[in-house]
Structure 1
Amino acid sequence: MRNPADACHIAVPARDLDAAAHFYNTLLGCPLARRRDDRVTFDFFGDQLVCHHAPDEPAVDRPHLYPRHFGVTFRSRADFDALLRLVALREVPVFRETTTRFAGTAEEHSTLVLTDPSGNLLEFKHYTDARMMY
């Protein structure tokens, strides 16, 4: 079983490593773990995110949230709200503004979707009832 000190490993393509570093480190505040010629690794909200250099990865004109995206489901509303303030302050590119899904049901949650420079979509959520996180 997973120890809370373990980190989930996420790998995504990045057409430009400098742009990825700017987005994840400078804009989102994810600490830079290490940088190599072919990849850059971040502490992505406690998990390991590796952006692999993929200059030939085709650009997606109109990315779709489903089926490919990743992100964080915050247990604390205060942490979700702190991210919202950071996104507004640093003018982070937003793919889909904050919305409430499944309002009035047990699965009610707020969601925000960002897009990185390579078109990878990041979804951030907070469930009103934390028991619905999984």
Structure 2
Amino acid sequence: MSNLSPFHLAIPVDNLEENRVFYRDVLELSEGRSSDHWVDFDFFGHQLVIHLKEKNRLEEEAINPVDGKQVPIPHFGVVLDMKTFKDFSKKLIQKNVTFIIEPYIRFEGQLGEQATMFFKDPSGNALEFKAFDDLTQLFAK
């Protein structure tokens, strides 16, 4: 896993400027190239692109119960080291981000123990950030 390739993910947003501010100022991601219809961001070393597109929102969100919490489907995010996760979650709390699932330790004391948190961008895209004390447990069964 030491030579991971950066991923590229493009997601729809229904208000480009509102989401640009969210990803740039709230999540503190560096902005790359842009046009009047899309913006690139450095998403912890990966390329995230927000594209302006009217989005059909589902009347009822899809969820999946995990560890007693209601996890939104779909969602995306990145695995951070534990220090970065803790620092990042503190910043989000200070910026009054509304969490779907507040930062906590999932599967505590079990194989695959991890820190996790979920929240949405202004267009309703669900994000999950997680961290492991032991990254070798990322795919542990």
> When the two structures are superposed, what TM-score results if normalisation uses the length of structure 2?
0.83
In structure 1, the gaps of 5 or more residues are none
Q: CA separation of 1:62/1:99 partners in 2, compared to 1, >3 Å: closer, same or farther?
A: farther
Give 2:17's aligned residue.
18
Look up the SS of the partner of 1:85 in the other structure.
helix
Cα RMSD between the aligned structures?
A: 2.0
Decide which of 69, 72, 76 is 2:75's aligned counterpart: 69
Decide which of 30, 33, 57 is 1:59's aligned counterpart: 57
2:45 corresponds to which letter in structure 1? G
Give 1:35's aligned residue.
34
| Aligned-residue offset at 1:46 | 0.8
1:29 corresponds to which letter in structure 2? E
Kept in 2: contact 1:106–1:129 (CA 8 A) = no
Q: CA separation of 1:61/1:34 partners in 2, compared to 1, >3 Å: closer, same or farther?
A: farther
**% of aligned pairs identical?**
32
Count of residues paired in the alignment: 131
| Aligned-residue offset at 1:18 | 0.4
In structure 2, the gaps of 5 or more residues are 64-70
Question: RCO greater where, 1 or 2, for CA within 8 Å and sep 6 or more?
Answer: 1
| Aligned-residue offset at 1:106 | 1.6
> When the two structures are superposed, what TM-score results if normalisation uses the length of structure 1?
0.87
The structure in which a higher percent of residues are strand is 2
Q: Deviations over 1:99-122 (max 9, x none)?
A: 222111121111100100111011
Look up the SS of the partner of 1:105 in the other structure.
coil
Kept in 1: contact 2:72–2:126 (CA 8 A) = no
Measured in 1, the distance between the counterparts of 2:51 and 2:134 equals 35
2:75 corresponds to which letter in structure 1? H
Q: Deviations over 1:62-104 (max 9, x none)?
A: 5444531111111x21111111111012222322111222111
